Copies of this chain bind each other. A is one copy, B any other.
Amino acid sequence: MILDKVNFPVDLRSLTTDEMNILASEIRDLIIKKVNTTGGHMGPNLGIVEATIAMHYVFDTPKDKIVYDVSHQCYPHKILTGRKEGFLNPDLYHKYTGYTAPEESEYDLFKVGHTSTSVSLACGVAKARDLKGENYNVIALIGDGSLSGGEALEGLDNAAVLGSNIIIIVNDNDMSIAENHGGIYDNLRNLRETNGNAECNFFKSLGFEYYYVENGNNIEALIDTFKKVKGVSHPVIVHIHTKKGCGLDVAEQNKEAFHWIMPGTLDHLDEPKTQTSESYESITKDFILNKIENREPICVVNAGTPGVFGFDKNYRNKLNKHYTDVGIAEEHAVAYSSAIAKSGAKPIFCVMSSFVQRTYDQISQDLCLNNSPLTMLVYWGGLSGADATHLCSFDIPLISNIPNIVYLAPTNKEEYISMLEYSYNQDKYPIAIRVPSYPLMSSGVADNTDYSVLNKFSVVENGEKIAILGLGNFFELAKEVKNEIQEKLGINSTLINPKFITGVDKELLESLKSNHSLVITLEDGMLDGGFGEKISRFYANSKVRVLNYGGLKEFSDRVALDELYTKYRLKKELIAEDVEKCLTDALLTV
């Protein structure tokens, strides 16, 4: 293998083009095998193999700095920068993260997992270089899908007037995760179709010098162009046309499905897809189709991640004009949805918890200040073993401290449907619903709660001494805790399903004071700024004790969920221990 003698980029620089082509093929094989084993980003990495080799061949990394955007295309880079063992040795498949990580290598500048950041970060690297009187190339590598994000566009606008060396490589594979949407993409297509010579050129209009490489999977062509821009004294765009999934037929043909794959996908290509059972996703999809069949002015909006919600191509086609994918542009998505609502139509904005934080100001100003009756569905909210870049545990502090919005936490199918209908049909508030990220639960009984009566918690079982508030995903844990306390301490606790994240049921909490001395809150997210602290604040001036359970303020990084639960004491037996201690202490000190 050529790869045997390549450990770091410096080893590349003595290879012939033929050897580099063989190397590309070796790297591709490693990626296919590893990703099919562990799951991960397949298409983006296969498309960028040649460009990665060419970059490290031409530029003097690590002195020259490459800033990756979203960095789900960094596997070839990791292989070439001292970390090939993580792809060669199945025992080490999990040693390195799927994103750039400075703690792993000096070749990785930033920890990155959200899109559209590379140009701004590269501008900062270049500015520091200039202030310190240093001299090296700064390269940002950004995919076409990331270009639609506001941060990327702000970055391009500023990079264009930086006045010194910055090289922005636009990796154009004509796809975001799904197909692209937006005027920029028409321009990219024009540029591809004219070999970079279209009259209108987005990048030139901003003032960039512009280069085009039609075959972005051809190492020689890439090297040739990179050599031309190396050492430039001004901002440059190199637009390279690559093939997403390049070298793996099924990935080339199914670009969306092979953007990110589950383990073993390649081993089960011929098996028919099993009929998926009912889920919160399927309920949502049916709800939407039903409204369309009723000819209602519904509009489903999302920002470039339809797969998160199960909106496959077939489903999107059914939605037709009732569907807008704005591309990676969460800020626009919220303002757009707010205005649709304010104008009397019915928007449903679907967003993953980790990405809702890309649009705080729009939720506050465009949406909540205008009190537009939007339905926002927040998916995947909760603690997880995810990479630090994709945590979903901040949506409660983020959303619930903004005035006017109502944030709801259903605990089962019937509540979810009832909340969806309520939100869809009302016109008083922006409403967000935290779609449960736990398996579908069903009570079997329709939920007829009138959710227009805000902040009314539901007492599921009456008890005494201890009240347990189990919010959303953690209502099931609350049940377990109740049973554990009954068994261990012989106390019949009151079980409460708060349902409302954004408000406190003062009447109920007040009434608990008469025969409860301890209130427990459980929330599937960070405690800081969250739900439990409001309950603590409420009881702070009373003799009622409160124990808040949830995550601590930290960026956990690929920590197994069970380990997190133990650390945060989110287990029935640990909570029962705390309760016992608290009750003892209270007796001693009160």
Residues of chain A touching chain B, judged by Cβ–Cβ distance below 8 Å, are: 67, 102, 109-114, 117, 120-125, 127-132, 148-151, 153-161, 181-184, 186-187, 199-202, 204-208, 297-299, 321-322, 324, 326-327, 329, 331-332, 335-345, 347, 357-362, 364-366, 368-370, 388-389, 394, 397-398, 400-404, 526-530, 532-534, 536-537, 539-543, 545-548, 553-555, 582, 585-586, 589-590
Contact = CB atoms under 8 A, between A and B. Distances in A.
A369 B111 contact: yes
Contacts of A339: 67, 109-110, 120-125, 127-128
Nearest to A109: B342
A400 to B, nearest CB: 7
12 contacts: A67-B339, A120-B331, A120-B332, A124-B336, A125-B342, A158-B327, A204-B205, A357-B361, A400-B528, A528-B534, A537-B537, A542-B545
B336 A123 contact: yes
B186 A132 contact: no
Contacts of A329: 154, 157-158
A486 to B, nearest CB: 21
Contact of A537 (B113, B368, B548): B548
Each complex incorporates copies of this chain amounting to 2
Nearest to A206: B183
A425 to B, nearest CB: 17
B155 A153 contact: no
Nearest to A157: B182
A362 B555 CA distance: 14
B321 A366 contact: no
A582 B343 CA distance: 48
Contacts of A546: 537, 540-541
Given A187-B207, A361-B358, A131 B345 contact: yes
Given A128-B345, A151-B332, A537-B537, 5 more contacts: A132-B297, A151-B361, A157-B182, A159-B183, A537-B548
Contact of A200 (B67, B204, B341, B545): B204
B540 A340 contact: no
A325 to B, nearest CB: 10
Contacts of A114: 361, 365
A555 B404 contact: yes
Contacts of A532: 537
Contacts of A362: 117, 120, 151
Contacts of A121: 335-336, 338-339, 366
Contacts of A586: 543
A366 B202 CA distance: 26
Given A110-B366, A529-B529, A331 B154 contact: yes
A547 to B, nearest CB: 6
A180 to B, nearest CB: 10
Contact of A158 (B127, B206, B336, B545): B336
A533 B537 contact: yes
A357 B357 CA distance: 10
Nearest to A344: B128
Contacts of A327: 154, 157-158
Given A121-B366, A343-B125, A528-B401, A548 B540 contact: yes
A189 to B, nearest CB: 11
Contacts of A541: 545-547, 582, 585
A129 B336 CA distance: 13
A366 B151 CA distance: 11
A427 to B, nearest CB: 13
A370 B67 CA distance: 13
Nearest to A552: B403
A186 B158 contact: no
Contact of A365 (B148, B182, B389): B389
Contacts of A366: 110, 117, 120-121
